[in-house]
Amino acid sequence: MKKESLNFKHYFGGMAFLLLIVQLLTGIFMTMYYQPQLENAYKSVQHINNVVYGGGLIRNIHRWSALLLVLGTIIHIIRSFVRKDFFHEKKRFLWLTGFLLFFIVISFVVTGLILPWEWRGYWVMEMVPNFLGVTHFIGNAAKQFLIDAYTIPRNYNIHILILPLISIILIDLHFLMSLRKRGIGRYLAKHALIAMPFFIAIIVLAKLLPIPSEDPDIIPLPLEGKFIPGPEWFFVVLLTPFMYLKGVLVPLFSVYIPFTIFTLLTFLPYYLKKKAVSASKGLLASKGLKAGLVVAITVVIFGLIFLGSYQSPIYGCNACHNAYRGVRMGFPPPTFKDRKINPILSDNEWMMRHWYYPDVTW
């Protein structure tokens, strides 16, 4: 097989890489205006969104591109999985760095959701410690640590400095190193061309379905954002066990099982030896079957994410939590770290129901 044609086998990987560049550029633009302070964070985001020329579009592109980036990465992983890349000695390292990159992408999403520091950001910030807090042994310590350690500037630094630095190193190890010999420019140009439909889709979506930020002048409706996919989906889907399950089942389904699956997959090439290839080779020899399997796994994974998340009205929070309501209901309270003053923040089930059904549970 010619080296060139290999490129296209990683269509979704190339797309994810290009979307990361989109995130970098739109992100740099927003760092010019964003202010990482309790009082000003959301105001500065509103300023970007409503006043800065092109700011609204850039912010919404950053959101939609984040969503497609995670989707693209997951499809890229599924394809590599079905192609059994983990059996290649040479690709072992690609597999490992790829999974670490996926973890970084999810970390980008979570830290990014917190940044605007409106009530969605506030909610996400409270739910990250709650999420780890349900685990046995280390849960309480991890939860307290995250609450204590959290500040807006720290979260901001992780999002714009630490995660990008780790990504650059991982991307270099993952494929830039080998790509450099073939020419990165050519690769980028080619993939930019074939990923064009996605770029156009992102701009159209950013224009048609922007995140409402005109409050308190124009407030959204409480249930706005239902059915509209957002990067939030990838986080809240992990939290749905809080709403439907009780006791040990909660950490089991929201932390232990996802974490175990992730770890097992990450190190797959290191304990699955080559022998197994020949055994299963015949089964997936045909290209059509492989493609079918990729589609099937993709449908199942995204079906689950959709089922878990589509009801959450991610745009509606400011219907009730807007500046007209003053500091307690309008802006996240300065006491947000104190669970004695705000005991409700530790009530995971309430927090989830309020996110999903804010018109019913409050």
Q: How far is the CB of 112 from ligand HEC (least distance, A)?
A: 15
Q: How far is the CB of 310 from ligand HEC (least distance, A)?
A: 14
Which one, 82 or 219, has the nearer CB to ligand HEC? 219
Which one, 198 or 331, has the nearer CB to ligand HEC? 331
Query: Rounded to an integer, what distance in angstroms lies between the CA atom of residue 144 and that of residue 91?
Result: 39
Residue positions counted in the chain: 362
Query: Rounded to an integer, what distance in angstroms lies between the CA atom of residue 259 and that of residue 265?
Result: 10
Query: Rounded to an integer, what distance in angstroms lies between the CA atom of residue 213 and that of residue 48?
Result: 10
Which one, 85 or 232, has the nearer CB to ligand HEC? 232
Query: Rounded to an integer, what distance in angstroms lies between the CA atom of residue 86 and that of residue 12?
Result: 18
For ligand HEC, the binding residues (CB under 6 A) are 119-120, 122-123, 126, 222, 313, 316-317, 319-321, 333, 342, 344-345, 354-355, 358-359, 362
Q: How far is the CB of 125 from ligand HEC (least distance, A)?
A: 9
Specify the residue for token string 């909660």. 250
Q: How far is the CB of 361 from ligand HEC (least distance, A)?
A: 9
Q: How far is the CB of 148 from ligand HEC (least distance, A)?
A: 18
Which one, 267 or 357, has the nearer CB to ligand HEC? 357
For residue 63, with 0-12 CB atoms within 10 Å meaning exposed, 13-18 middle and 19 or more buried, which class applies?
Answer: buried
Helices 119-133/232-239 angle, 10° precision: 40
Helices 55-82/287-309 angle, 10° precision: 130
Which one, 59 or 321, has the nearer CB to ligand HEC? 321
Contact 336, 126 (CB under 8 A): yes
Which one, 268 or 317, has the nearer CB to ligand HEC? 317
Contact 247, 256 (CB under 8 A): no
Q: How far is the CB of 234 from ligand HEC (least distance, A)?
A: 16
Query: Rounded to an integer, what distance in angstroms lies between the CA atom of residue 27 and that of residue 355?
Result: 27
Q: How far is the CB of 341 from ligand HEC (least distance, A)?
A: 9
Query: Rounded to an integer, what distance in angstroms lies between the CA atom of residue 346 and that of residue 342?
Result: 8
Which one, 30 or 317, has the nearer CB to ligand HEC? 317
Contact 158, 106 (CB under 8 A): no
